[in-house]
Every structure is written in structure tokens, then in C-alpha cells.
Amino acid sequence: MSTQATPTLSLKGIGVSPGVAVGHAFLLDRKRVRTPKLRLAEAEVNPERMRLKAALELSDRQLQELKDQMCKTEGPEHALILEAHRLMLHDPMFVDEVSRLIVEDRINAEWAVRRVARKLKHLFDNIPDEYFRERRSDVEYVADRVVRNLMGQVVDEEVEVPAHSVVVAHDLSPADVAMMARSGRVVGFATDLGGQTSHTAIVARARTLPAVVGAGKASEQISPGDLVALDGTRGLILVNPTDDQLALFHETMQRYQEQEERALATKDLPAESTDGSRIRLVGNMEFPEEIASLLAHGAEGIGLYRTEFMFLDRKSPPGEEEQYRAYRQVLETMGGRPVTIRTLDLGGDKMPGRGKHEKEPNPAMGLRAIRYCLANRELFRVQLRALLRASAHGNLRMMFPLICGMSELREARSELEACRTELGRAGVPIGKRFPVGIMVETPSAALIADRLAEEADFFSVGTNDLIQYSLAIDRQNREVAYLYKPLHLSVLRTLTSVVEAARTAGIPVSMCGEMAGDPVYALALLALGFDELSMTAGQIPTVKAIIRQASRAEARELLSTAMALTTAEEIERYIRMEMERRFRGEVGPF
Ligand code: PEP
Ligand code: MG
């Protein structure tokens, strides 16, 4: 296979699913439908609404079918993405608005669907959080399906992908990604659009197929049949590589394959050190679609469900029923595994509904999280009622964010009890009592952890905030990012004392900040004695591999040597060097 004749092209994107693949480009070009734009006579309005209703129903049936197929072949978790699409078809923000445009603006259904989709997508565009921004492509997929159905076009056409293809596309719908991943003929994905949390990324990671997204104009620069070498770890795409480059890719491919095989081989094995210390590895999530990937990587439960993401950038907060359904869905999908749902951490950098709240001068220290909830009691109660009802459907644990003192914990718990009594009196079914814990993410909570442990059922350490407040480093400010040091001696001492307080009181202690999933810190956290670490899907196998290869005794030695040093730089250098020495070639680099 000589490729010397054609010049090599090198493209850079975002590596979202690790690994290396070499194959021939298969360009998937799902042509966008041209939307007819018509004005309606008054007599046409009602028939048009009926036409919309029929197209919505057909779309719903198609998605249900796809979902059933996916359940059979991929397992139920993947189907959640399509379930989210079905929910969108029933969402009043979508359906009612389309109907309103047909009636009030007298325009045809296709045009109305496009206009509403554009508006919704625009809302997503302005969200700083990447995951949320990515969801605008869901709006597009759903709108496209409805428009195609209105126009009587074929939807969900299967494409014949040749074996060993690297699929190249402008963007991919979840149904396309899943279908092609399932075909067993695809070795990797490259798309122009997308980020870490796009569907291509989520599905590709779950299927362990290398993927590079956000690669600019890849779909225009790559021609069908081009030889493509893809590095999903470094975000690199080489088109028509030279023989030397190809040989290097094959070498790297071999190495990645061995690493991934070793990591996934342990998926169902416990994260247990060689001397018997067991840590539960669980997942962080913002949206139900992430569960699929978490389970595929061996998550033993959910350690942090950030419920506030359901509240962002919409006109009115989700009501009790909508929240209940969301929590119930997560609990049921996790099938008895522990699910830790955090009550709203709104405020600070996560503001609901634009313009509704005055911007605070110092939002990180302002009215956020539990403070916000205690100041907006009805909003808080709606969530507590939804959680109490959902608790009947799985293994719920609930926690309050940003607790600074005992009064807040008591206040929040008494609100929960009031809701429990209220629902009980009204005869609404609720589950049995569930553990109620707190996030330890302020120095104040850490310093009185011994007292808080008397009234909290568990701790979950939020290092993202704990480090921000301990080191006085604004976690959003790039200028001081170099000072954000998880291995600062003050942080290590704080963690030591929080774990100690939990131990003494006999309550479990977890960590759910970013520090928990970074392999560099895995031995230090094993040494500290955390019962549970909560992280994103892709981090689980590596952290597990490290824990399974070390003993708690040697981890303790490492930590005590590190904590005898003083500066954060010295400690970090020492720990990275030791991790590199112990695990070089297997995981890392550190
Ligand atoms: C944390 O502070 O570590 C945490 C997990 O919460 P969030 O990142 O949502 O503030
Ligand atoms: Mg936090």
C-alpha cells in the first residue's frame, strides 16, 4: 500500500476517544433537507396542525423502534440518547412553540419547526458549559427528523460502510454513530464539529473506537477512499501518510491496544489494592445520556449527579413531575447501584434563566448552592419532593452542596423532613429513608468535619471548590490557574483530617472533584483512605488499574514522604516521578 504519490495532509482536532486507527475514508454526507416556506390561509391552519401531529407521532414511533433495536444490540444504556430525543418531541418548549407559530404566524409546519429549532439552538450556543452547548446538535437531529417526516422522505436509511473505514462527516447523529459503530466495519471517526461531550465522542468512547472531533473542515479536505491515520488521544488526523508515518502509527496502535485491553479487562473487577483495600469507583454525570459510557467503563454507581444542569438556560425551572421523571430514569437505569444525587448547586457560575438575577460582585462567595436553595424555599422543596418520590425506584443517596456550617445542614434536613411528612399525608408513594450527606468543599466544613459527621450520613469531598477556597484561587480565572495545586500541603492536610473525621464517626467518605479521576493522585487518595472516588467514564479503568497494582502500605509510604516536603512543586514533582517509575508503559505518562 504505497501512498507516496499523494501529498500528506495533517489535520488537528480534539481527541475525544483514545486510540489509533488506520483505514480508508468513508464520507457520510447526510444532505440537509431544504425547508419549504409557505404562508397559510386561515382554513389551512388546522389541517397543518394535524399534519404536524402526524409527523410528530411518526417520529416518535421511529425513535422508539431505533431505541428497541439499540437496546437489543447495545444494551439499554445507549438507548438513553434516543429516549432524550423522544422526550424533546414531547417537550412543550418545542411542540407548543411550533403549533403557536403555525396558528399565529400562519406558516407551514416545516418552516415553524426550523424556526423553533433555530431559537432553541441559539439558547444552547450562549452557554459557557461545553456539554450543554453540544446539545444543540440534538435539537438539529430531532428537527431534521420531523421535517423529513413532514415531507414524506425516507428517514434512518442504513448506509453500507465498507470494512476498515474511518467515517468522516461534518457531524454525526447518535443514531448514525451507533449504527456504524455496531456494523463492526468502522475503525474510527473524524468530524468537523463536536467537542468532548458530543454524541460522536460519547458513543465512540463507549465503543472504544478512536475519534477526533472539531477538526475544522476535515469533511471537505478528505476525499472518499483517502488513507486516513487517526490518533484519538492526541487529536491528530493524517491523510495519505507516508510509509514512515504509517509505520509509526502502527507501532502506537499496538501500544494503545495493549493498554486499553489491560484496562478494560479489569472493568468488572473491584478496585482493590494488593493488600485488600477496596475503593468503590463511581461516575460523575450531568445528563442521563452519560450513564451508558459510565457503565461501559465499569462505574459501580453514580457519585455525583449535578442536577442544576437541568435548570440552566430555560425560561422556567423544571417542575416536580419533570424532575421526578429524570431522577427516576437515572435510578432505574442504574438498577440498584448507588446513585448520589446532589441538590441544586445553582448560583455562582451556574445561573438559571438569563437576566433573572442580578450579577453578584463575587459569585463564588455569593448566593449559590445550599444558600441559594435556602433562600428560594419553594424551588428547593420542589426538588426535594421529586427526589423523595424518585427514591422509591432505586438506591438513592442525596447530598447538599457547599455546606459551611451545621445550621445549614440542619435547615436543609428539616426542609427534607417537612416534604417527607407533606407527601406522606397526601398519600404520595415515597421510598424508604435514604442516606443524606454533604459535600465537603469549603475550608469551614473541613475544619468542623468531626461535628458535621455527627449529623451527615456521608461526606463527598468536592476538591474543585475546596481547593479554590483553601488556596484562594478563583477556579474560573486563567491568570491564577498556575496556582491551582491539588497537591498543596494545605490541601493534603485538609483531606487527611476530613477522612479522619469520617472514620472516627464511622461514615463513608467519597471524593467527587476532578482530583478523584486524575491518575497522578490515585495512590495518594488510596493512602488517604477514601471509600469511594467519583470521576468521568474514561478515567475509571486507569485509576482502577493503578489501585489494583499497588498496596495501601506502599501508597501510605509514598504519601508520607510527599507530605514531609513543603512546596506544592516539590510534592508534585516527587509524586509524578514515583508514579512514572512504578507505572511507566502501563498507564501514564504522568
Ligand atoms: C467540586 O467542587 O469539587 C464539585 C464536584 O462540585 P462542582 O464542580 O459542581 O462545583
Ligand atoms: Mg463544588
Mean pLDDT by 10 residues, the chain (590 residues): 64 85 89 79 92 93 83 65 84 91 94 91 72 74 89 76 93 77 88 74 74 90 94 90 92 77 80 98 84 87 91 79 95 96 84 55 90 96 98 98 98 98 97 97 98 98 94 80 91 98 98 91 98 89 93 98 98 96 79
Give the count of beta carbons closer than 10 Å to the beta carbon of residue 378: 7
> Cell 507530605, residue?
563
- Ligand 1 atom nearest to CA at 514: 3
Counting ligands in written order, the one closest to the CA of 464 is 1
Whether the bond between 589 and the residue before it is cis, its omega within 30 degrees of 0, is yes
- Per-residue model confidence (pLDDT) at position 403: 98
- Per-residue model confidence (pLDDT) at position 87: 86
Report which protein residue has its CA nearest ligand 1's atom 3. 462
- Per-residue model confidence (pLDDT) at position 176: 78
Provide the 8-state DSSP code for 554: H
Which is the catalytic residue, given 78, 85, 199, 297? 199
- Per-residue model confidence (pLDDT) at position 75: 60
What ranges make up the beta strands (E) of 331-468? 338-342, 395-400, 436-440, 459-461
By most ligand atoms within 8 Å of CB, the mutation choice from 286, 345, 370 for ligand 1 is 345
Cα separation, 432 vs 346, in Å, equals 27
The residue type of 372 is: Y
Q: Kindly give the residue spans of alpha helices, DSSP state H, lying in 128-233.
A: 130-134, 136-150, 174-183, 199-206, 218-221
Cα separation, 53 vs 41, in Å, equals 19
Cα separation, 240 vs 453, in Å, equals 60
Cα separation, 324 vs 188, in Å, equals 38
CATH 1.10.274.10 range(s) for the chain read 42-150
Cβ within 8 Å of residue 91, ≥6 positions away: none
Output the ligand 1 site: residues, CB below 6 A: 304, 306, 345, 441, 462-465, 512-513
Cα separation, 435 vs 416, in Å, equals 12
Q: Are 381 and 419 in contact (CB under 8 A)?
A: yes
Rounded to the nearest angstrom, the gap between the alpha carbon of residue 449 and the centroid of all alpha carbons in its chain is: 29
CATH 3.20.20.60 range(s) for the chain read 267-587
Rounded to the nearest angstrom, the gap between the alpha carbon of residue 81 and the centroid of all alpha carbons in its chain is: 12
- Is pTM beyond 0.75? Reply is no
Q: For residue 460, what are the β-bridge partners?
A: 439, 510
- Per-residue model confidence (pLDDT) at position 355: 41
Q: Are 471 and 483 in contact (CB under 8 A)?
A: yes
Q: What sign does the dihedral 13-14-18-24 (CA atoms) show?
A: negative
| Superfamily of domain covering 9-31+157-259 | Phosphohistidine domain (3.50.30.10)
- Per-residue model confidence (pLDDT) at position 83: 81
CATH 3.50.30.10 range(s) for the chain read 9-31+157-259
> Cell 444532505, residue?
31
CATH 1.10.274.10 fits 42-150, yes or no: yes
- Per-residue model confidence (pLDDT) at position 354: 41
Pick the CATH number of 267-587 from 3.20.20.60, 1.10.260.40, 3.40.605.10, 3.30.9.10: 3.20.20.60
**Ligand 1: distance of its center to the CA of 465 in Å?**
6
